[in-house]
Chain A
Amino acid sequence: MYRTKEKLGNFTAEDAPQYEDVLQCMRCGFCLPTCPTFALTGRERSSPRGRVALARAVAEQKLEFTEAVKEEAFFCLDCRACTTACPSGVRAGEVMEVCRSQSHQQLPPPHLGKSFRAFILQRMLPDPDLLEKSMLPARLYQRLGIQWLVRHSKALKLGPAWMEKVEGMLPQLAAPLRPQLPELIPARGEKRGKVGFFLGCVMTLLYPGVSRQSVRVLAHQGFDVLTPQATRCCGAPHLSEGDRQTARELALFNLELFLRQDVDYIVTDCAGCGASLKEYEEILEGLAEHDRLAAFRAKIRDVSEFLAEVGLRTAGLTAVAKTVTYHEPCHLCHAQGISRQPRELLRRIPGVELREMAEASWCCGSAATWGLKFSAASQQVLDRKLNNVSQTGADILVTANPGCQLQLAWGVRQAGLKQEVLHLMELLGAATPE
């Protein structure tokens, strides 16, 4: 859906929503109580129903594509909670993703912002080497003690709010994982198959330790793990920012790369990447052969989905005697419908006691760059989440997506909570013997 079509109302022809998709909404309002931005504002236009109605008004030429429409397109967290809640099958999040692309066509930002965005999206993210080099200053910043100085001098208070948050969110950086990871890690024990591992950008740069555990766990579970060095960004940041053209180029590249490999499944430990890979079939419609798209789509698994499906081998796992609560990443539970499997895995780790938090599938307020663009609103969404986390009294807060992990780890630190924040694979890695 949403490829180049004929012009619809006041949308431009390129990447416009389809009329059928906005007409599908029968305005029952089932989405209202699930929408974090509606909960924040109580304003109909900041609800999924309202946003779809705005898109419909643009399509029906009752409204120009105005600044307010653009504002709502970017204020939407794209958490897809409304998609889960909608009995009629309306995909308001995707409609808003397309509207973001429309906003770049119709209401382009000032020149400077435009080139900065283009540089990040079109130069850096598609180029793994460049991306890795770009992290060097940040690592030096931490290593040389400048971070310590900056934090203690409160110098960041002078800059924009998002800068202070970015700085505060940075985990202790290690060298990127991609160049270090062997392309093929052989299975341990009785071999069960061969998987391709899709290493995401944020994982290799900010959480190399997590993906290191993922591939180790997969090998330990009996799978040869192939991680193609040439893998490029999945395109999720581009879809999120409304750059659908670059997203398609990246998708085509990854599609061809992985279809060339002899693997049974393609596994990722990043919920954002998983959701994006599963949507290649739609964004590449008409650009690649249907059979190839379907074959690719059929192989994609989130690591938790995969391990639950093949069955976790628990023999030899060491006990982790901890209480754990689980935060569901939006792009896992709402975009991919994976909710049961991570819990199933947690319950199977010896010693782990799972304590459910209230509203486990409510967004944490990270949502790609949303948490930086709307830092005050993000803080409110995060506070609601942290309150639910702390009510459980669990030792460990587990999640399964790097964006959530950055936001939650930062939030827990800021609020002085006791919880350690881990990716599910880190916990499973801790239970998996060397």
Chain B
Amino acid sequence: MISKTAIEHLQQRLGTANVAFEKEDLLVLGYDSTPGVHHLPEVAVYPTSSEGVLAAMEIARSEGLPIVPRGSGTGLSGGSVPVKGGMVICLNRMNRILEIDEENLAATCEAGVITLDLFNATAAKGLFYPPDPGSQKISTLGGNVMEDAGGLRGLKYGVTRDYVMALQCVLPDGSLLTTGGKSVKDVAGYSFKDLLVGSEGTLGIITAVTVKLIPPPQARRTFLAYFDDIRTAGEAVSKIIAAKIIPSTMEIMDRATINCVEDYVRIGLPRQMAALLLIEVDGHPAQVEEEAAGVEKILKAVKAAEIHVAKDAEEAGQLAAARRTALSALARVSPTTLLEDATVPRSMLAETFAEIERLTAKYQLKVGTFGHAGDGNLHPTVLCDERNQEEMARAHAFYDDLYTQVLAWGGTVSGEHGIGLAKKEYLARQIGAGGVKVMRRIKDAFDPAGILNPGKIFDEHDPCTQTHVEEGFRVSH
């Protein structure tokens, strides 16, 4: 239980308006977008500077409170859920874009800047920040970095990790670490920056980020291709990649998703189709021309039911926006949407769809599948009701089988959402007990007291590493 003095202390250091301890304030910080998890913190703070984060860290440490950093709470693996109570540090009031450096093609922001705001600010200067998680209108840059968020352009442009140049980070020992810089090349020692990206708030709290910017593509073309069979869509994706064409986007939605999205956006998506692919090629106009022709040729060869080219940028934007609503739109069907983040080598896409279909029938579930087909990152989503224990057990068995297969194909249990709470058991299966053990040693090096976001990625005391003979860890893909 947090002491009254500690709260007064926090109020003095951060300002009364930036400290919340009423139940109603805490109740609404006990969740993120992950279904079925809700744990209340004891106190929440809203620092407005790194000094504020340092102060909060210092007070939490002296009180022995666990600390959980939080952006907009759009995470999908429970990374910002305060499972052990303690203090939630909300970073959304640190939302200034500090610098857009056109000479070095870099931008520096506070952690709470909304991803789309950074995108717009850099676009206004003729620059391009490519990572675009589905939640770009809401999610914060700090959250993107912590979860190594992906997005719709991940296929060609990569994920958040590929754009982080430098980080400012408050470490659990109370020090402020700056790692990386604006130099394009930097091999001085261990790459802390790379360790921190995707660390899900377990190693340090990011207060500022410097990201790499690139020149925007001069031209783009957007297609919608419809399919009578989702496996054909998977085949089309594999063939496009095999033809050495890398579109910026290749997104898929199955029939259930198409229908839910159409219920919301009402832009005339064909409800009877088994699947659609949203494909965008971009780059130099001549290259776009050539790649678009190649894509069309493959779509026709695999017998796509229909191919539609977006008539202008507005329509293309509308289609991408519609795709971004997929997960939330699926929530129209059922109270609980249990989404996964299975990622497979791209040559295995058609097989993955077939496997999802087989398991859907086996476990008698309603499943909507959508995702980033181009990078093999699918989000099969079980549409269920968390009040129905028996159905939840079937959903769990569904994922269990699916991940067994995905791992056998050399895939991964998380493409972009992180491990958090939701996938701890699967992580151990992917990287082995030895892998988990090394991760825990790294965690101990940064956070010996174990106060930063405890219980995430791996359990604090994982029985499996104590009782089993250490396995070698598998090379990750």
Contacts and interface: CB of A to CB of B under 8 A. Distances in A.
A88 B261 CA distance: 9
A33 interface: yes
A187 to B, nearest CB: 34
A54 interface: yes
B329 A88 contact: yes
A211 to B, nearest CB: 32
Given A27-B31, A45-B28, A87-B325, A32 B72 contact: yes
B332 A50 contact: no
B332 A29 contact: no
B93 A30 contact: no
Given A42-B93, A57-B27, A63-B23, A24 B331 contact: yes
Interface in A18-72: 20, 23-30, 32-33, 42-45, 47, 49-50, 53-54, 57, 62-63, 66, 68-69, 72
Given A33-B138, A43-B20, A89-B332, A26 B28 contact: no
B331 A87 contact: yes
A133 B344 CA distance: 74
Contacts of B90: 44
B390 interface: no
Given A28-B328, A33-B138, A45 B25 contact: yes
B216 interface: no
A53 B23 CA distance: 12
Contact of A44 (B25, B135, B335): B25
B27 A54 contact: yes
Nearest to B23: A63
Count chain B CB atoms within 10 A of each CB in A30, A44, A63 and give the residue with the most: A44
A33 B114 contact: yes
B138 A62 contact: no
A63 B23 CA distance: 8
Nearest to B32: A27
A50 B332 CA distance: 19
A425 interface: no
A53 B46 CA distance: 20
Given A42-B93, A68-B22, A29 B27 contact: no
A16 interface: no
A367 interface: no
A421 interface: no
Contacts of A23: 335
Nearest to A67: B24
A92 B263 CA distance: 18
A100 B261 CA distance: 32
B28 A20 contact: no
A86 interface: yes
**Dominant SS at the A interface?**
loop
Nearest to B337: A26
Interface string B96-126: 0000000000000000001000000000000
Interface in B269-315: none
Contacts of B325: 30, 87
Interface residues of B, number: 37
Given A53-B27, A62-B27, A29 B33 contact: yes
Interface in B2-31: 20, 22-25, 27-29, 31
A21 to B, nearest CB: 10
A54 B24 contact: yes
A351 B46 CA distance: 51
Contacts of B264: 87, 89
Contacts of A43: 20, 25
Interface string B437-455: 0000000000000000000
Contact of B135 (A28, A62, A88): A28
B33 A26 contact: yes
A54 to B, nearest CB: 6
A28 B72 CA distance: 9
Contacts of B20: 43
B443 to A, nearest CB: 27
A106 to B, nearest CB: 15
Contacts of B35: 26
A22 to B, nearest CB: 10
Contacts of B77: none
A30 B24 contact: no
B73 interface: yes
Contacts of B25: 43-45
B24 A68 contact: yes
Contacts of B46: 42
A45 B24 contact: yes
A53 to B, nearest CB: 5
Given A44-B25, A63-B23, A87-B329, A32 B138 contact: yes
Contacts of A26: 33, 35, 327-328, 331, 336-337
Contacts of A27: 31-33, 73
B74 interface: yes
Nearest to B27: A57
B358 interface: no
B331 A88 contact: yes
A65 to B, nearest CB: 11
Nearest to A41: B17
A24 B73 CA distance: 17
A87 B72 CA distance: 18
Count chain A CB atoms within 10 A of each CB in B73, B114, B328, B336 and give the residue with the most: B328
B396 interface: no
A66 B22 CA distance: 11
Nearest to A54: B24
B120 to A, nearest CB: 12
Contacts of A89: 263-264, 331-332
Interface in B68-90: 72-74, 90
Contacts of A86: 328
Given A28-B74, A42-B93, A68-B22, A53 B28 contact: yes
Contacts of A20: 335
Given A30-B138, A54-B24, 4 more contacts: A30-B137, A54-B27, A63-B23, A87-B264
21 contacts: A27-B33, A28-B74, A29-B135, A29-B139, A30-B135, A32-B138, A43-B20, A44-B25, A45-B24, A47-B28, A57-B27, A66-B23, A66-B24, A68-B22, A72-B24, A86-B328, A87-B261, A87-B325, A88-B328, A88-B329, A89-B331
Interface of B: 20, 22-25, 27-29, 31-33, 35, 46, 72-74, 90, 92-93, 114, 135, 137-139, 260-261, 263-264, 325, 327-329, 331-332, 335-337
In the A-B complex, the 8 residue pairs with the smallest Cβ-Cβ separation, listed nearest first, are A87-B328, A88-B331, A87-B325, A50-B28, A68-B24, A26-B331, A87-B329, A44-B28
